[in-house]
Structure 1
Amino acid sequence: MKAALLHGPGDLRIEEVPRPAPAAGEVLLEVTGVGVCGSDASLYTKGIEGLPAKERGASPLVPGHEFAGRVVERGVGVTLAEGELVACGAGISCGRCQPCLAGRTNLCRNYRTLGVYRHGGLAEYVAAPAEICVPVGPHGVSGDDAALAQPMSIACHALARGRVEAGDRILILGVGGIGAFATWAASRIGAEVTVVDVDERRLALARTLGATTAITAARDRPMTELLASRGPWDVALETTGHDGPLQAALASQQRGGRVVLLGMHHQPRAVDFSWVTYGELDVLGTQAHVCAVDLPAALDLLGQRAEGWADVAPVALPLEQLVEEALKPLAEGRSAQIKSVIDPHLAEPRPYQR
């Protein structure tokens, strides 16, 4: 089969490799779509050497943790039907450690991720544990939308961490993939959503996803100053991993509000904790998703958008265009669409399909 193999930093090759076989409790999926995100771009740029030792797999590695596929083979003990289109949650938990027993499987002490620790979805076929694969049909999802379930589930988990309820005023800083999905998810809850981004096209998309207010950020103006007269908000989601939005998220909250940090901050930040102390703010981290809860919720949300998701993921690309049209644009901050989707079986790009 054809697969994308990451050999080292900036060294990704499309190669022929043996088709995997599912172990007991696993399914073999014929991959129908793979979403590409910022963490994939970081993995491409830094290689697996950039990961903590306990999280990295062997090299070369097939990346890809946002994927869907059809069941074509089943290991012993699997009840999923052959031919079923499923979304995969990618994260594998042990089910035995204290976090797992408490229902926080995303914090499993033995957590491993497909596409990071072992081969992922950027191949024609991938083996995955059946327990992290959810049939999409009962949720009204089909086609390319199935590959969007894993990132939507990240947004679902972040909103759950922030305890977002109907009537809350929520501020979303950054309308990339997770910010866009969080906008839709929060608006469906009944929250009043304000989004902030530097890109007018992304702000326009956020309005179609349910944002009531869209604010254009200026690169030469502090974001705390931009938002000073517009808040306060009950909840802020910081999705960018940059210092300005982080400071703005903390400074703009209602007393007793919540700040949820989704963006990956790769360096220490100087934070004025007086905002946290005097405002009695909850500052919450979020890590991946709780597959059994967040993945089905994500599929429900995807299925509720009657017009589909062509404005978020307008085209599917072949593996051969993965680097130049998906990974490099993301790494360099110039991606033309919110989500890049790869269909490993394509020879040429094709438009979005439901």
Structure 2
Amino acid sequence: MRRDMVDTTVDAIATTMSAAVYHGPRDVRLEQRAVPAPGPGEVLVRVTAAGICGTDSAEWAHGPLLVPHDESGLVEPLVLGHEFVGTVAALGDGVELPVGSTVVCGAGISCGTCVMCRAGRTNLCRSYHSLGLQDDGALAQYVVAPAEILYDVSDLGLSDDTLAMAQPMAVAVHAVRRSGLHAGQDAVVVGVGGIGAFLTHVAASTGARVLALDLDPDRLDLATRLGATDTVQASDRPLVEILAELGYEPEVFFEVSGSRRGLDSVLAAAQPGAVIVPVGLQKLPLELDLSRFTLGELTLVGTVAHVFRNDIPEAVRLLAARAATDGWDDIASLVLPLRDLVQEGLEPLADGSSPQIKTLVDPWIDRARPADHALTA
């Protein structure tokens, strides 16, 4: 939705709103809730577009996982949604953001005082929690967020549908930043769905040569458009043979599929000195030959979420750069209303049949609409 079509004045705020509320596994309900009021240091945001991801679909299909629950699995009803853009509708005490400004949100909330926060690693805060997972999120018409995790993007000329992808792009930015990948190096990305697509783009933007692997030929075509130098359809053929044939000597491997097969192929192909980043979560524990890591000086790098101060601005910059050339319709082409969230959004994500890399939701519409990624200025 274009921002010039949205009434963002304080007087336009209703007393109730539509929200997608999580009650437990396979139980997300569209409900009417009171519009929340911002406290000190907080902002009421009128949500203009929100994204859903594998975390949301996993909560719906198999949860509660990250959503707080008791030993029996009982949850306090919670509004989902941690990827969003919106306009500032009202301010709590001590906040100076202009009402009506457009903001993207990092979603993760940190204390600012623990050892990790003091080191700038706010994603590892000892009391880290997130909108849409531990606190009410943005699959609703309004959400309250701390001002310190809102980034003003009013003057960039990007559409709300494009800006709604800032948070997942920031996750990819953080993973690449953690890896140390830079221009002149070779990188391998295993899995080009969801975060893997964004990660392919971020890795290529460093100037590295990027090889992308996936089972789906359409995703490999997408990887090429996102900047991958080479693509290969995943098969039983050993990755080490593929690398030798293409002349790659990867310094960095990103395993994004979360499959044991994908990780095994990376571990087998990694040469001494390589960095391995398991972005996708493995479903089962596994044994590693640590002597090989020691003797080969292999580096295993964890990555989780993002650091708002560093990664959100870079994510927005990357979104803007491609919006000005190729656009983002190949990532998100359709925007859903809240009422279609489960049937057309969470369920297809959970069973692997989603037709889009990124599913977006507009909480103000009654029927699906084409995504708008056109520049607005």
Same structural fold, with TM-score higher than 0.5 when normalized by the shorter chain:
yes
User: 1:57 offset after TM fit, Å?
Assistant: 11
Within 5 Å, give how 1:219-298 maps onto structure 2.
Answer: 229-230=245-246, 231-273=248-290, 275-298=292-315
Residue equivalent to 1:91 = 108
Q: For residue 277 of structure 1, give the secondary structure of its aligned residue in structure 2.
A: helix
* Of 327, 345, 349, the match for 1:330: 349
Superposed, 1:156-171 pairs within 5 Å as 156-171=173-188
Alignment counterpart, residue 36 of structure 1, candidates 30, 42, 52 = 52
Q: Which amino acid aligns with 1:19?
A: V
Residues 157-194 of structure 1: per-residue CA shift (max 9 Å, x gap) = 00111001111101011001211111111111111111
Q: How big is each residue's C-alpha offset from its partner over 1:39-74, in whole Å with a ceiling of 9 and x where there is no partner?
A: 1111111233565769x9952111111111111111
Task: Please give the TM-score of this superposition, normalised by the length of structure 2.
Answer: 0.89
Pairing 1:341–2:360 present: yes
2:85–2:160 CA contact under 8 A, matched in 1: no
Q: Distance in 1 between matches of 2:126 and 2:232?
A: 40
Q: Which has the larger radius of gyration?
A: 2
> Aligned residues, how many?
352
Match of 1:209 among 212, 226, 229: 226
Distance 1:138 1:254, change over 3 A: farther
Percentage identity across paired residues of the two chains: 47
CA RMSD of aligned residues (A): 2.0
State the shift of 1:279 in Å: 2.4
What residue in structure 1 maps to residue 335 of structure 2? 316
Contact 1:106/1:287 (CA < 8 Å) preserved in 2?
Answer: yes
Q: 1:127 aligned to 140, 144, 164, which one?
A: 144
Query: Aligned residue for 2:18?
Result: 2
Residue segments in structure 2 that go unaligned for 5+ positions in a row? 1-16
Alignment partner of 1:68 is 2:85: yes
**Of 190-199 and 221-230, the range deviating more from structure 2:** 221-230
- What is the identity, as a one-letter code, of the residue corresponding to 2:202? A
TM-score in terms of structure 1 length = 0.94
User: In structure 2, what residue type is equivalent to 1:343?
Assistant: D
Alignment match, 1:143: 160
Q: In the alignment, which residue of structure 2 is the partner of 1:195?
A: 212
Distance 1:263 1:253 in 2: 17
Rounded to whole Å, the distance in 2 between the matches of 1:205 and 1:196 is 11
How far, CA to CA, are the matches of 1:80 and 1:127 in structure 2?
Answer: 14
SS, match of residue 189 in structure 2: strand
Distance in 2 between residues matched to 1:108 and 1:343, nearest whole Å? 31
